[in-house]
Amino acid sequence: MENIKIYWDNFLSTSENNLKYKNRTYDWFSFGANSDKLAKWVIDGKKTATSSLYENYLNDKEVIPKKGNCSIILNSSNEPVCIIEINKVEVLKFMSVTESMARKEIKEQNALELWRKSHFNFFSTEAQEIGEIFSKESLIVFESFSVIYK
């Protein structure tokens, strides 16, 4: 994963970024489904949020992301394509996601309906893989973010 460190170092190479981010930790990930398409949406500003199954954090013993965290988004070839910074994190029930929240992930008419359908199926599969059952009352982690480097 040397290419990830190089990408972060290139980001820090400007004095403004170095001052603000040099002591920050960062992680990296690719989107679970359609990673290239979703990464392009992030770069193009069409996707400004992501959501994940809360139970995954418990199962993997991971800390829930928080405001100010930085992540390098990878494509399907594990190449860095951009860096995001989290602006807001909400832990809420699946059915509590609003139309405006859904539009941050899906920029289409009926965003909430499309979001619920696609994410219910995705989260149900993820929950099943860790021995859980996903329902409309299950918790998710909803992260809003902005691109800070591409």
Residue 56 vs residues 39, 48, 132, 142: alpha-carbon distances, Å: 21, 21, 10, 13
29-43, 80-94, 114-128, range with the lowest pLDDT: 29-43
DSSP annotation of 105 reads: H
Please give the angle made by the CA atoms of 36, 73 and 8, to the nearest 5 degrees. Answer: 140
Range of the domain at 117: 2-149
Specify the 3-state DSSP secondary structure of 10.
helix
How many domains would you assign to the chain?
Answer: 1
DSSP annotation of 109 reads: T
Q: Please check the confidence at residue 127 and state whether its pLDDT lies above 90.
A: yes
Give the pLDDT of residue 107. Answer: 84
CATH number at residue 140: 3.10.400.10
Rounded distance between C-alpha atoms, residue 112 and residue 102, angstroms: 5
Higher pLDDT, 73 or 110: 73
Predicted confidence band of residue 14 (pLDDT cuts 50, 70, 90): confident
Give the pLDDT of residue 32. Answer: 77
Closest CA to 124 of 114, 111, 138: 138
Predicted confidence band of residue 16 (pLDDT cuts 50, 70, 90): confident
DSSP annotation of 63 reads: P
* Segment 136-149, tens digit of pLDDT: 999 999 999 999 99
Query: How many other C-beta atoms lie within 10 A of the C-beta of residue 133?
Result: 9
Give the pLDDT of residue 15. Answer: 74
Task: Count CA atoms closer than 13 A to 36's CA, side-chain side.
Answer: 2
